[in-house]
Amino acid sequence: MATETVEKKEEAIKPTPVFGSGTAFGAGTGFAGFTGVSSSAPAAAAPAAAAPAAEASGAAAAEGGEDGEAADPEEECQAEFKPVVQLDEVETSTGEEDEDCIIDLKCKLYRFDSNNNEWKERGIGQVRLLKHKANERIRLLMRQEKTLKIRANHIIMPGTKLQEHAGSDKAWVWSTVDFSEGEQKVELFCIRFGSAEKAQEFKAKYEECVELNTKALAGTALATAAKGDADADADADELADDLAAKAGVKGSKDEEEDEDEDEEEEAE
């Protein structure tokens, strides 16, 4: 009995164990009571088991990368696609094949709108002076860049003069009969260049073309007048021959009638 009493006292005096001291992790206390928690020994073995798997996956990824480079779809694709509609190449004519270019400069062109009394931009592009190889006439042609739409197209008429615009040494103003829209129309143009040197170069060539066109158009006018005179003379000669022929026929008939009357009188 005394021994049992002493043992009970020792158990009563024995302190309550503190978490993590005097006990094994997961044995009796701690997280061992929770469901799904494994012991420390399997947990320690998990990283060792995962390492070979990671190495195997890395090796597989490396092999996959090598296979991916070897099997590049862009390099292996050899498919050919034919167009649904076959188009034939068509030659286009600009109307400039029989002309020689005297000057070619980039510019910005304006036209004066008389209805609103203001300048309106016509387009930005290349302005050229073109001389025809056959009749030697020179015209000004300006096309819009990229679209190549005609913005100015007219013969350089004799007597045309370029004037400065608002005192600027980069811009010139002139009036002419333009044919860029398919019909003759009187226009007041203003052309502007990127520098004063290009503006002066254009003016010098333009004035030179005015003189050349004066001679070319004068020769054409004389040739037309001479041809007209020759045609008029030929028509006059033909008309005179017709009148003479008619007059000759009428005269012969009158003479025959007079002879018949004389014979009748003598018979009486």
Find, among 127, 122, 137, the residue nearest to 105 by Cα: 127
**Domain count of the fold of the chain:** 1
Integer angstrom CA distances of residue 262 from 248, 252, 253, 256, 268 = 21, 15, 14, 10, 10
Integer angstrom CA distances of residue 36 from 33, 39, 126, 218, 251 = 9, 10, 85, 113, 148
- Decide the pairing of beta strands 99-113 and 185-192: antiparallel
Does residue 260 sit within a domain?
Answer: no
Q: Are 151 and 128 in contact (CB under 8 A)?
A: no
pLDDT tens-place values along the chain, 268 residues long: 555 555 555 555 555 555 555 445 444 455 554 555 444 444 444 444 445 555 555 555 445 444 445 556 566 777 788 878 888 888 777 778 889 999 999 999 999 998 999 999 999 999 999 999 888 899 999 999 999 999 999 999 998 899 988 878 899 999 999 998 888 999 999 999 999 999 999 999 999 999 999 988 887 655 554 455 556 666 666 766 665 665 554 444 444 555 555 555 555 5
Does residue 30 sit within a domain?
Answer: no
Q: Which residues of 213-225 are buried (b: 16+ CB within 10 A; e: fewer)?
A: beebbeeeeeeee
Does residue 131 sit within a domain?
Answer: yes
Reduce the DSSP state of residue 134 to 3 states and report it: coil
Q: What are the strands of the beta sheet with 185-192, ordered from one edge?
A: 150-155, 138-144, 118-132, 99-113, 185-192, 168-178, 163-165
User: What residue has token string 């608002």?
Assistant: 166
Domain of residue 206, CATH code: 2.30.29.30
pTM: 0.52
Q: Tell me: the pLDDT tens digits for 247-257?
A: 554 444 444 55
Distance CA 217, CA 139 (A): 12
Q: Tell me: the pLDDT tens digits for 62-74?
A: 454 444 455 565 6
What phi and psi values does residue 83 have, to the nearest 5 degrees? -65, 145
Does residue 158 sit within a domain?
Answer: yes
* Residue 268 DSSP label: -
Does residue 186 sit within a domain?
Answer: yes
Range of the domain at 169: 99-216
Does residue 5 sit within a domain?
Answer: no
Does residue 148 sit within a domain?
Answer: yes
Does residue 263 sit within a domain?
Answer: no
